[in-house]
Every structure is written in structure tokens, then in C-alpha cells.
Amino acid sequence: MNQCTHLDQIKEVTPSSMVGCSDCMDSGGRWVHLRMCLICGRVGCCDSSPSRHASKHAAAEAHPIASSFEPDEEWSWCYIDEVALLIETIPHPHHQPYDTDDPIHDAATVALRETRRGLVAP
Ligand SMILES: [Zn+2]
Ligand SMILES: [Zn+2]
Ligand SMILES: [Zn+2]
């Protein structure tokens, strides 16, 4: 099994979005699951998503490690070593829950839901 040699690159990061893939929301795209870059906090979509922004970001920026941004998932992944990691010493933020179990999320729907949430008093 591969060993990851990039753990020293992990930084304390702020997610670039709490609700969806930042690149998909810019372009109106769709995503399935979300990953967060542990070097800069960029939130991107997983390899099951049409645009695979998380792995594209990792390759483009040479940021090797991302962690799952899904609720109840605490694993991380090194794109260079292709190894799953469980890093207990870092915070694992998660995206805000969607109102539906639909595995495909698109930017327009999420934006609409966020707007509705803002309009409805608690
Ligand atoms: Zn690594
Ligand atoms: Zn995306
Ligand atoms: Zn990054």
C-alpha cells in the first residue's frame, strides 16, 4: 500500500463554498458529491460528477490532498499517491444538507433552495 508523503502540505482552510462545487456554481453545472482541497479549501465535485472539478483542481494547482465534503464522511484522498487517508488531526467541515436525496445537484436548484431558506422564517 502506498504511503502519502504530502501530509505536511495540509493547511488550515476555509471552504470556498458551503453549498456546492464552486466551479459548477460559476458555470451552472451539476455535481454528485463534493470534495474539499486541504491545501487551499477549494470545494469541487467528485470523479462521479460530469466535470470532476476536484481532481482537475488538484492537477492544475498541484494540491495533492482533498477530503470528502459529504456529511458523515471523514476520509481524505491523495491524488498523487492514490491512497485514502484518515487524518484525525484536522477539522472536517461538511456541506449543508440538501433537501432531497437526489444524487445529482445542480447549481440552479441549490441557489433556489438557498433563496427559499432565506425567505422562510424559522
Ligand atoms: Zn500523498
Ligand atoms: Zn464541479
Ligand atoms: Zn487547492
| CATH number for the domain that contains residue 37 | 3.30.40.10
Q: What's the 115 CA to ligand 1 centre distance in angstroms?
A: 39
CA nearest neighbour of 50 among 103, 110, 108, 109: 103
In a domain, 1, yes or no: no
In a domain, 47, yes or no: yes
In a domain, 104, yes or no: yes
Task: State the pTM of this model.
Answer: 0.89
Q: What's the 30 CA to ligand 1 centre distance in angstroms?
A: 28
pLDDT of residue 1: 62
Q: What's the 13 CA to ligand 3 centre distance in angstroms?
A: 9
How many domains in the chain?
1
Q: At a CB cut-off of 8 Å and minimum separation 6, what does 101 contact?
A: none
Confidence check: pLDDT of 78 > 80: yes
pLDDT band at 20 (very low <50, low <70, confident <90, very high): very high
In a domain, 2, yes or no: no
Backbone angles phi, psi at 30, to 5 degrees: -125, 150
Q: What's the 39 CA to ligand 3 centre distance in angstroms?
A: 5
Q: How far apart are CA 77 and CA 99, in angstroms?
A: 27
Instruction: Tell me the residue range of the domain where 81 lies.
Output: 7-119
Q: What's the 87 CA to ligand 1 centre distance in angstroms?
A: 12
